[in-house]
């Protein structure tokens, strides 16, 4: 009996160690990939606290994702995501196209900062468009992983509004729910750049909608602020929505 048990225990131990090593390798690879590729798209610092994805179930989460602000803006970050949950088709991890069944982003915090040189959300959007825009060669199209995302949900988000005259103070309005489906389906997969353009474009539009309707909330809240902050809110209310909706700074 012992002669049988010892080899079985040894095999089980090797499998457990191999499984743990594979998971660790995948999580390190995802973290490094995000922190390397994302800044090239956004033109800002990007950091994540942790990645925990099983290569066998394809399910997991990314925690503490932070997208910084472009130069010239002073709030602490443009976007913070506490938790991003993801469910993938496991076998697609070994293929040229990553099939993602669902991504759920719950409770993101987006800071919209209006300064003399424009606003941070539009600036990041422009950086992404400049990276993904224009015609690409076949080599460029095939240079990175292809993605197919069946369902992407962003919910329970908050937009923090600020201007230079508000002296670092922010006011909050809710971010409308964003639900995107079948990203990359028509083309049988699409690039990371195109996914970023579509997702951030949707976020940008919803921020515009929320900002455009935030005037009354801002004016009510302004009563609790100092005189300079009130002045900042007044100017903020007049031009905030148009800046985003018109696509300008």
pLDDT computed for residue 124 by the predictor: 92
pLDDT computed for residue 183 by the predictor: 95
Under a CB-based contact definition with an 8 Å cutoff, are residues 46 and 64 in contact?
A: no
SS3 content of the chain, % helix, strand, coil (to 5): 45, 30, 25
pTM of the entire predicted model: 0.74
Please list the pLDDT of the chain residue by residue as tens digits (249 residues): 544 444 433 333 333 333 444 566 778 888 888 899 899 999 999 999 999 988 889 999 999 999 999 988 888 899 999 999 999 998 888 788 899 999 999 999 999 888 777 788 889 989 998 876 644 444 444 456 799 999 999 999 999 887 665 555 667 888 999 999 999 998 989 998 899 999 989 998 888 788 777 665 555 555 554 554 555 555 555 544 444 344 445
Q: How far apart, in whole angstroms, are the C-alpha atoms of residue 164 and residue 120?
A: 12
Helix (H, G, I), strand (E, B) or coil at 61: strand
Q: What is the dihedral of CA 23, 103, 244, 127, to 10 degrees?
A: 30
Under a CB-based contact definition with an 8 Å cutoff, are residues 198 and 180 in contact?
A: yes
């Amino acid at each position: 009996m012992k002669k049988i048990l010892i080899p079985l225990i040894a095999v089980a131990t090797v499998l457990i160690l191999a499984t743990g090593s594979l998971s660790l390798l995948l999580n390190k690879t995802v973290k490094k990939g995000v922190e390397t590729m994302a800044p090239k798209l956004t033109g800002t610092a990007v950091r994540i606290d942790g990645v925990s994805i099983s290569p066998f179930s394809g399910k997991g989460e990314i925690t503490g994702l932070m997208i910084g602000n472009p130069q010239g803006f002073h709030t602490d970050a443009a976007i913070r995501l506490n938790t991003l949950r993801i469910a993938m088709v496991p076998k697609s991890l070994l293929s040229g196209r990553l099939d993602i069944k669902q991504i759920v982003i719950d409770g993101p915090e987006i800071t919209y900062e209006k300064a003399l040189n424009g606003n941070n959300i539009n600036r990041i959007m422009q950086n992404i468009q400049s990276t993904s825009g224009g015609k690409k060669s076949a080599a460029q199209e095939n240079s990175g992983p292809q993605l197919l995302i069946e369902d992407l949900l962003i919910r329970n988000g908050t937009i923090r509004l600020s201007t230079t005259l508000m002296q670092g103070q922010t006011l909050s309005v809710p971010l409308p729910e964003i639900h995107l489906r079948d990203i990359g389906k028509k083309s049988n997969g699409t690039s990371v750049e195109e996914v970023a353009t579509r997702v951030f474009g949707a976020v940008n539009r919803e921020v515009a909608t929320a900002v455009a309707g935030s005037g009354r909330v801002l004016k009510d809240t302004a009563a609790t602020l100092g005189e300079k902050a009130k002045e900042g809110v007044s100017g903020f209310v007049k031009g905030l929505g148009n800046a985003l909706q018109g696509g300008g700074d």
